Chain A
Amino acid sequence: MSVFAVILGLIAGAILMIATGNNPLDGFYFLFRGGLMNIERVGNTLATATPLIFAGLSVAFAFKTGLFNIGGAGQMLIGGLCATAIGLTFDWPKPILLAVIIIAALIGGALWASLPGLLKAKFNVHEVVSTIMMNWIAYWIIFYIVPQYFKGPFLETESQRIPAAASLKVPWLTSLFSGSFINLGFFLAIIVVVISAFILERTTLGYELKAVGYNRDAAGAAGINVNRNVILSMAIAGALAGLGGATFYVGFASNMQIGVLPAQGFDGIAVALLGANSPWGVFAAAIFFGILHTGKGFMNAMTAIPPEIADTIIATIIYFAATSVLIERNWDKLLKFNRDNLLRRKKKESLEVEAGGDQ
């Protein structure tokens, strides 16, 4: 993760606070205090970051293959639906149930995202368009299935509450973080970050995926099956988002609501951008976002900054930080350009001097 980008983001937020007549020092003090002030809030920060880690990994992974996965929200919904359906249907011992829930969410997300991958590979349908449309298909599927099969006795708009045995929340963790929402999803996220980093950096599969991302034609000419890798990359991205959905719907939340596309699916794009598409970068970026999201309310409560401005400040920090990664990259290029110029000029001068010396 780029510290430079984060600082630029915070400066942009500070400017906005000053512009709206608030003291940015107070604002940031309470923002970070709200995210980190005690063990419960640290737990909540990590819990908020958990789905973002998965969503960010999903976007980053697809991006390595040159694909832009905007379907994180829909893949999260499908993963969450698989998790919720199994959690509400089966009455197994907790370890088995959780294992099945996680695998189901993974498969659900993978299948859901491999469809756009297939369309891309076979018919060259742009994945941005198809994943966005898949989001809405997922949205309406949830809208139909949850009230039809999983609703509670009264409300048409949300599923029954997930039983304790199917929840990623575990009592020892909750009490360790004095009543926080942190759940096993966070540890799953760490494991998945490690695995993703391993796949991308140390395996043939990772190498092929990246090769396709760098240059499809070159990869194809080198004997790599481009279509297979496009589908595979989308499937893995979907599996990651599906896992994120499971941690969100049976971990962070305790039921599934209809009519809501999870915002994490889209925030994942910013997380991936800020994390420079590297698994550990994504991890750090997601935790940074977790602090912002958790601390926002406390900043609101302790200062006169109204919620709408606070939301704008958080959004400014997030998107400024994410986009300044681009500025930073170009900055490096600019520096390199200058340096090269300088070197060239020096070389030229020294040549001239040498030439002059000969005279």
Chain B
Amino acid sequence: MKKWLALLLVVVFVFAVSGCGTPTPPADDTGDDAGDAPAALKVGMVTDAGTIDDKSFNQGTWEGILLAATDFGLETRYLQPGGTTEADYITEIGNLVDAEFMFVVCPGFKFETAIFDVQTRYPDAKFVLIDGFPHAGDWTPVVNDNVVSIFFTEHESGFLAGLATALQLGEGEVGFIGGMEIPPVQKFNWGFQQGVLYANENYDTNIVMNAENFIYQGTFDDVAAGQVLAAAMYDKGVDAIFAAAGGVGVGAINEAKTRASAGENVWIIGVDVDQYAEGIYDGASSIILTSAMKYIDVAAYDMIEAELNGAFPGGQILTFDASNYGIGIPKENPNLDPEVVEKVAAAFAEMQAGTLAVSDVQGDLIK
């Protein structure tokens, strides 16, 4: 009996090993870069903490890549690191490059030091870093010619969402749930507050903001905590919560949907992408008042297009703001009145003209 088992194992093992010995590699294996200049671009992406369908940052980037892939006929792939350390990110970027994905998009500030490493490790590959710039750990930007670094003016986006919220509510109280206390989230928060204050001053709205309702949960994935925080705020009388918190925001959205189904009048302001569809309850209405958007997908698409046209803006730090339509609220806002949308559009035009400035630092604002 034991002999049979041993024999079976040997057969299986030989099968496995011989399988390894005679591979059937796809079209082109690594290592032969002689004369492959006109080969189609292969675009890869490494996800930040969270999954590809996070309804915000990862998903936005990926959708931009997919759109470019259909428009230009590219091969695409995304990898999900096993952890969130620099080593994990470098490993996955290396996997893409070794598989000849020579154009890699990395969404998130956490990639900063990893990109700093790989920009010299893989000089033939191109990298797009969203929301950060490469540095050695000392915050001195070192952007090589094969890297472009992209920032968004989250404070402008937050401002427009805050203004829209204040105008639509007219009177009431708003709160904020952030993910981690990192610059992009902080800027969303500060911009949002400025938008509300602007409405209070210029349009006679009466919106209250209490410091106790401006909270950073501390993660981007604790759905249950988002629900608890949102419930606490709604119980304290908050009418609308700006949730810039990834998965934590999903929890807040769930809480709002439950309450809205029960007849309460509560709202969430979405973030990064148009989250209207995420907030739909009872089939027709959505608890998403509007969303403070960053056009991450457009940024990813534009960079791929630029690379294909031979105009990759390597070595640069780009800012996507109101002036180049990099941020804004969604085009369709079923929950906003037309005159609110008009006033927000006016503010957007003033931003573009440079007559309306939004601060990206805390100043006298809450947290």
List residues of chain A with CB under 8 Å of any chain B CB.
3-4, 7, 10-11, 23-26, 28-29, 32, 34, 37, 44, 47, 143, 147, 152-157, 160-161, 179, 181, 252-255, 257-260, 262-263, 293-294, 296-298, 300-303, 307-308, 311, 335, 338
Q: Choose one: B9, B19, B47, B84; the contact of A3 (CB below 8 Å).
A: B9
Given A263-B82, A297-B79, A300-B77, residue A7 in contact with residue B180 (CB < 8 A):
no
Given A153-B139, A263-B83, residue A301 in contact with residue B19 (CB < 8 A):
no
3 A-B pairs closest in CB distance: A301-B99, A161-B137, A297-B95
Interface bits B178-201 vs A (CB < 8 Å: 1, else 0): 001111000000000000000000
26 A-B contacts, Cβ less than 8 Å apart?
A: A23-B24, A25-B19, A25-B24, A26-B25, A28-B20, A29-B20, A29-B23, A152-B139, A153-B139, A156-B180, A156-B181, A157-B181, A161-B113, A179-B121, A181-B91, A253-B86, A254-B85, A257-B85, A297-B95, A298-B99, A300-B95, A301-B77, A302-B26, A307-B78, A308-B51, A311-B80
Interface bits B99-126 vs A (CB < 8 Å: 1, else 0): 1010000000100010000000100000
Given A28-B16, A143-B218, A254-B113, residue A301 in contact with residue B101 (CB < 8 A):
yes
B residues 134-171 near A (Cβ < 8 Å) are 137-139
B44 touches A301 (CB 8 A): yes
Given A301-B44, A301-B95, residue A254 in contact with residue B86 (CB < 8 A):
yes
Chain A proximity of B206: nearest CB distance (Å) = 32
For chain A, what secondary structure do more than half of its interface residues adopt (helix, strand, loop), or is it mixed? Answer: helix
Give Cα A260 to B50, complex, Å. Answer: 12
User: Which has the most chain B C-beta neighbours within 10 Å: A7, A147, A160, A297?
Assistant: A297
Q: Choose one: B2, B13, B82, B96; the contact of A7 (CB below 8 Å).
A: B13
Interface residue B12 (Cβ < 8 Å from any Cβ of A): yes
Closest A residue to B183 using CB positions: A154
Residue pairs across A and B with CB atoms within 8 Å: the count is 116
User: Which has the most chain B C-beta neighbours within 10 Å: A3, A143, A152, A257?
Assistant: A257
Give Cα A302 to B42, complex, Å. Answer: 12
Contacts of B12 in A (CB 8 A): 7, 11
A302 touches B99 (CB 8 A): yes
B1 touches A335 (CB 8 A): yes
Contacts of A254 in B (CB 8 A): 85-87, 113, 137
Give Cα A32 to B19, complex, Å. Answer: 11
Give Cα A300 to B78, complex, Å. Answer: 8
Chain A proximity of B186: nearest CB distance (Å) = 9
A34 touches B95 (CB 8 A): yes
Closest A residue to B85 using CB positions: A253
Interface residue B264 (Cβ < 8 Å from any Cβ of A): no
Q: Choose one: A7, A153, A156, A308; the contact of B80 (CB below 8 Å).
A: A308
Q: Choose one: A26, A147, A253, A258; the contact of B87 (CB below 8 Å).
A: A253
Contacts of A257 in B (CB 8 A): 84-85
Contacts of B81 in A (CB 8 A): 297
Interface residue B352 (Cβ < 8 Å from any Cβ of A): no
A259 touches B218 (CB 8 A): yes
Closest B residue to A154 using CB positions: B139
A10 touches B16 (CB 8 A): yes
Interface residue B258 (Cβ < 8 Å from any Cβ of A): no
Interface residue B98 (Cβ < 8 Å from any Cβ of A): yes
Chain B proximity of A211: nearest CB distance (Å) = 31
List residues of chain B with CB under 8 Å of any chain A CB.
1-2, 9, 12-13, 16, 19-20, 23-26, 44, 47, 51-52, 77-87, 90-92, 94-96, 98-99, 101, 109, 113, 121, 137-139, 180-183, 216, 218-219
Closest B residue to A37 using CB positions: B98
A300 touches B79 (CB 8 A): yes
Given A155-B182, A259-B219, residue A294 in contact with residue B109 (CB < 8 A):
no
User: Which has the most chain A C-beta neighbours within 10 Å: B84, B91, B101, B113?
Assistant: B91
Contacts of B20 in A (CB 8 A): 25, 28-29, 32
B91 touches A297 (CB 8 A): yes
Contacts of A301 in B (CB 8 A): 44, 77, 79, 95-96, 98-99, 101
Q: Choose one: A153, A181, A260; the contact of B84 (CB below 8 Å).
A: A260
Give Cα A218 to B12, complex, Å. Answer: 44
Given A161-B137, A179-B121, A263-B83, residue A294 in contact with residue B91 (CB < 8 A):
yes
Chain A proximity of B192: nearest CB distance (Å) = 18
Contacts of B139 in A (CB 8 A): 152-154
A259 touches B180 (CB 8 A): yes
Contacts of A181 in B (CB 8 A): 87, 90-91
Contacts of A294 in B (CB 8 A): 91
Give Cα A24 to B26, complex, Å. Answer: 14
Chain B proximity of A3: nearest CB distance (Å) = 7
Contacts of B180 in A (CB 8 A): 156-157, 259
Give Cα A338 to B20, complex, Å. Answer: 37
Chain B proximity of A255: nearest CB distance (Å) = 8
Not counting A25-B24, A157-B180, A254-B113, a sample of 14 additional A-B residue pairs whose C-beta atoms are within 8 angstroms of each other reads: A3-B9, A4-B9, A156-B181, A254-B85, A254-B87, A260-B83, A260-B84, A297-B94, A298-B95, A298-B98, A301-B79, A307-B47, A307-B52, A308-B51
Contacts of A260 in B (CB 8 A): 83-84
Contacts of A23 in B (CB 8 A): 24
Give Cα A7 to B11, complex, Å. Answer: 11
Chain A proximity of B55: nearest CB distance (Å) = 16
Closest A residue to B97 using CB positions: A301
User: Which has the most chain B C-beta neighbours within 10 Å: A24, A153, A253?
Assistant: A253
